[in-house]
Structure 1
Amino acid sequence: MRVIQTLFACCLLGLSLSLAGLGAGVSRAEGAHPLPVTLSFDRPVNAAEAPLLLAMTDGLFSAQGLAVSVNTVAGSPEAIARVASGASEFAFVDLNALIRFRSQNAAPLKAVFVLFNKAPYAIVARKSRGIHVLADIEGKTLGVADSDLSAGLWPALARQNGIPLSHVKQSRISAAVREPMLSAGQVDAVTGFSFQSAVNLRDRGVPADDLAVLRFADYGCDAYGFAVIVNPDFAAKRPEAVKGFVRALIAGTSLAIRDEGHAVDQVLTRMEDGSRDLELERLHAVVRDNIMTDEVNRNGLGGVDPARLERSIDQVGEGFKFAKRPQASDIFDDRFLPPRGDRLIN
């Protein structure tokens, strides 16, 4: 009997060690202790960052042997600069800001995971001002924030839809007053993120049935949205850490989609005076419009269609003068993605 018990204990020990080895991932490959890395967000967090925050709060990064700390900076250009300098290993940024950066800078920064398969750019308008579809913007006043990257894609969008740029008056405004000015009727429409401006306006009391959310993606814009970029030196030295980061983010995205309530509860712990109902609405919009697209349903999370990315680079170039046009291979590196089957969301 004692021999049988001993054999049984050994089997259990062997199984435990095997399971630990599977879960260790990066830890085993990179060392016994968690590897500290820094992730930069390009703006204050809200439900749009839920997949990344869940990877932190629910132990998904630590399961990959990573100890992830975060900081928040003022916009994608600053976050990209931090990664380029090595001050941060990773950043969550607008892929179109990376396209601009690579057109003017030789630093070989690339995205390794695209979370927003469709960019969230939109024109948010008041139907009571006569705007129901994109063509209605002619003869109207469009409020554009100086820091808004959607303004750079507006020329391509207007051309694709036969709208002369001279027929739309652009009013340069601060991002801080974008929603208040539209709410007060000082402009007819504003550019912004569909999950940001539209949700914020409803929170300010603008009736939902008076809002027209004209998503660039619905009118021929090929742009991808927010993505994770990595410092190239770090990626070369620690490829398994980058793969582990990506695996954790896929798990976090899957969890955010399955349980939006839990995801928002975790997001609220990192917000000041956040509204649960508002962030639930925001996360639902992000998942529906930006993350779980037809392309993602076919090909899985995180990747890009190179031909589409090339088209989007050309569209960015219509509103932003490139010093040197980057190629799709300059922008995205798929070497750190797991196989398609591991990226599909069922």
Structure 2
Amino acid sequence: MPYDGSPSRRQLLSGAGIAAGLAAVPLVHAGHAQSKRQVTVRLDWIYQGPNAGFMVAQDKGFYEQVGLNVEVGPGKGSGNTAQLVASKATQFGFADGYVLGNGVSKGMNIRAVAGLYRRDPTAAVVLADSDIKTPKDLEGKTIAIAAGSTQFQQWPAFVKGCGLDASKIRIVNIDPAGSPPALITGQVPAIAGYALGQVPSVEIRGNTKARVFWYADCGVTAVSNCIVVHNDLIKEDPELVRSFIAATLKGFLYGRQNLDEMIAIARKYSPAIEPAIARREAEMSWQSWISPNTKGKPFGWMSEKDWEETVEVLKQYGGVTAPLQAQQLYTNDFVPTGVEFIPPPADADKM
């Protein structure tokens, strides 16, 4: 159900595949007197294409099948969502792994229990018809990045990985919401941010094409959005965690195979959602579902190496000085292992 304001391989993803995937967790049938458990999840941001899988899981009854009724609440950024999970104001959160790592280093008792954006979705974005054809062409140009953002913190790693001369690139501060308009109108020749949010806005609202230079393509490894819980919930109710994850992942996988239906469901939560934007957002998010180290693994499964490299980026560029180990940040204990949970590669959707 929409949030009410309280704090509180392609063939396998058919209806039969959905049912099989949920068979491993306890089911609650309509004839049973057992009432559904009320659960809350706070998203990373407003209702949109990339996070619509949660809405699909509720609307299609995947949560109901495991005895849950889930309030899906919009977020105000991963940092805020992580704080809500840490304070137990919500049982589940959808938050960036880089932000999670920063929070844990400062004492938050939270952990990722399923990784969705397992490849860094951050990128430098330019217009396709610009003279910036490769990352090297950014030298001598200006790029707009929100000061203090994840993209800003990871910028030095991108520059190093691409072999760029940082002294030849001018950085200007910009509000994230103002980045796409600034690029479209030519105020700046390049912007950096989450590609899954910026590229759709540039392409649809600007009626143009964008060229994307993924940070990941220059060697930046940073686990992004995950399902996050308090460590106490893992100890006190592991079956709740397991059931929620299985149903949620089914929602995302079903939405990928039924994109128009997913967008229609998301618009029940927010009629302001623009279908064309939401479609492109979802398509861009699929580029981040699989990292080289998670290829062929079930959706949600996280790589220790990816987390170790995320920790290194945090220590080198994110200001983390406290002792921090990858094992503190995640667990794969609750990720379903069925083959129906293995997502197709991004290029299977011909983006």
TM normalised by structure 2 equals: 0.85
C-alpha contact 2:298 2:341 (8 A) present in aligned 1: yes
Q: Deviations 1:232-251 (Å, cap 9, x if unpaired)?
A: 22221111000000110121
Q: Deviations 1:10-50 (Å, cap 9, x if unpaired)?
A: xxxxxxxxx9x96971659xx93222111111211111012
Q: In structure 2, do the counterparts of structure 1 residues 24 and 227 end up closer, same or farther at CA, with 3 Å as the change threshold? A: closer
2:225 equivalent in structure 1: 226
Q: 1:125 is aligned with what amino acid?
A: V
> Are positions 1:311 and 2:312 aligned together?
no
Pairwise CA distance, 1:314: 0.9
1:56 equivalent in structure 2: 58
Q: 2:238 is aligned with what amino acid?
A: P
C-alpha contact 2:157 2:313 (8 A) present in aligned 1: yes
The equivalent position to 1:323 in structure 2, one of 321, 324, 327, is 321
Q: In the aligned structure 2, how far is the partner of 1:292 from the partner of 1:96?
A: 16
Q: How does 1:262-301 map to 2 (within 5 A)?
A: 262-287=261-286, 289-292=287-290, 295-301=293-299
1:7 equivalent in structure 2: none
The equivalent position to 1:343 in structure 2, one of 341, 344, 350, is 341
Q: In the aligned structure 1, how far is the partner of 2:136 from the partner of 2:284?
A: 24
Pairwise CA distance, 1:277: 2.5
> Are positions 1:259 and 2:258 aligned together?
yes
Pairwise CA distance, 1:336: 1.3
Q: 1:155 is aligned with what amino acid?
A: P
**Runs (4+) off by over 4 Å:** 21-24, 292-297
Q: How does 1:1-346 map to 2 (within 5 A)?
A: 25=26, 32-105=34-107, 107-146=108-147, 148-208=149-209, 211-287=210-286, 289-292=287-290, 295-339=293-337, 341=339, 343-345=341-343
Q: In the aligned structure 1, how far is the partner of 2:269 from the partner of 2:294?
A: 28
Q: Deviations 1:170-200 (Å, cap 9, x if unpaired)?
A: 1011112111111121111111121211110
Q: Which has the higher helix share?
A: 1
Please give the secondary structure, in 1, of the residue aligned with 2:143.
strand
- CA-atom RMSD in angstroms: 2.3
Q: In the aligned structure 2, how far is the partner of 1:24 from the partner of 1:206?
A: 45
Q: In the aligned structure 2, how far is the partner of 1:212 from the partner of 1:88?
A: 38
Gaps of 5+ in 1: 1-18
C-alpha contact 1:178 1:190 (8 A) present in aligned 2: yes
Pairwise CA distance, 1:229: 0.2
C-alpha contact 2:123 2:215 (8 A) present in aligned 1: yes
Gaps of 5+ in 2: 1-19, 345-351
Name the larger-Rg structure: 1
Q: In the aligned structure 2, how far is the partner of 1:253 from the partner of 1:296?
A: 17
Q: 2:66 is aligned with what amino acid?
A: Q
Please give the secondary structure, in 2, of the residue aligned with 1:142.
strand
Q: In the aligned structure 1, how far is the partner of 2:299 from the partner of 2:43?
A: 20
C-alpha contact 2:55 2:72 (8 A) present in aligned 1: no
Pairwise CA distance, 1:127: 4.6
1:3 equivalent in structure 2: none
Q: Deviations 1:113-142 (Å, cap 9, x if unpaired)?
A: 001121211111135542111111112111
Q: In the aligned structure 2, how far is the partner of 1:42 from the partner of 1:214?
A: 23
TM normalised by structure 1 equals: 0.86
Q: In the aligned structure 1, how far is the partner of 2:36 from the partner of 2:159?
A: 49
Q: In structure 2, do the counterparts of structure 1 residues 328 and 212 end up closer, same or farther at CA, with 3 Å as the change threshold? A: same
Q: In the aligned structure 2, how far is the partner of 1:222 from the partner of 1:299?
A: 18
Q: In the aligned structure 2, how far is the partner of 1:274 from the partner of 1:120?
A: 21
Count of paired positions: 321
Q: Deviations 1:252-298 (Å, cap 9, x if unpaired)?
A: 122112211111111122223222222222222222x1125565441
Please give the secondary structure, in 1, of the residue aligned with 2:288.
helix
Q: In the aligned structure 1, how far is the partner of 2:265 from the partner of 2:57?
A: 10
Q: In the aligned structure 2, how far is the partner of 1:79 from the partner of 1:282?
A: 21
